[in-house]
Structure 1
Amino acid sequence: MKKVLLTTLFAVFALGAFAQSDSYFGEKISDKGAVAATELPKKMGSKEKMTAKVTGTVESVCQAKGCWMKVKTTDGQTMRVSFKDYGFFVPKDIAGKTVVIDGEAKMKTTSVAELQHYAEDAGKSKEEIAKITEPKRELTFVADGVIVKK
């Protein structure tokens, strides 16, 4: 009887250890009320910035440290997501995963130097980096918290 009980307990704990769950980074947030990243540009309209909770698919992540990620929005576009006060990072292997981010979306003109830095972080070649010669007006997001869905 003891062997059956111990075996059962061991199996339950082993399954629990291997069960995947959502991963949280930064502030602990929930996914309640999140809008699709594809809807965010429309929701922003002509606003320069707004508080938002968004869910979307990660296209790429900074391969240096996980200090930013790109989330797919509309028409093949992406939104660069950075993390509040450089206070946390995300795993570098989450491309293709669904995330929920909570924070502030804003329109920003990104300088050539910053765009080149991001390209370097993404592992682009020197030739690709050299082709970046114009600043870019783009949708960005500063996340207070991130959920990486299982």
Structure 2
Amino acid sequence: MNGRVDYLVTEEEINLTRGPSGLGFNIVGGTDQQYVSNDSGIYVSSIKENGAAAQDGRLQEGDKILSVNGHDLKNLQHRDAVALFRNAGYAVSLKVQHRLQVQNGPTSHRGEGEPSSIPIAVVLLPVFALTVVAAWAFMRYRQQL
């Protein structure tokens, strides 16, 4: 393994309706208390059980919240981000960045009957290339006859 960790980053718009306990999640981060090194973004630190976010199911711990009702969360202090959430109203639209870790090597021994983690393209590309070379060689051979 090369020690590098790869991530798949996706963005999603999530609309939540504020419930009795608010939006149902806590946040960390901001310019004054970075949660991720060299990133002053706002992140979901926890999801409250039975809250609006938990009932929706799409927001996850560790997600980065990019905007609230169209208000960009870049370069905000933590307290200013909290104020945006508190004053967002009943229907709240969140632009969220999900970051999923992509496996780039084996993490354990594969058991009997488990599928291989080798991508199909890694196998098919060389086979396709060899087929093209063999067809070309055959055609050249036939022309010489």
TM-score by length of 1: 0.27
Tell which structure's C-alpha radius of gyration is larger. 2
The answer to which structure has the higher strand fraction is: 1
TM-score by length of 2: 0.28
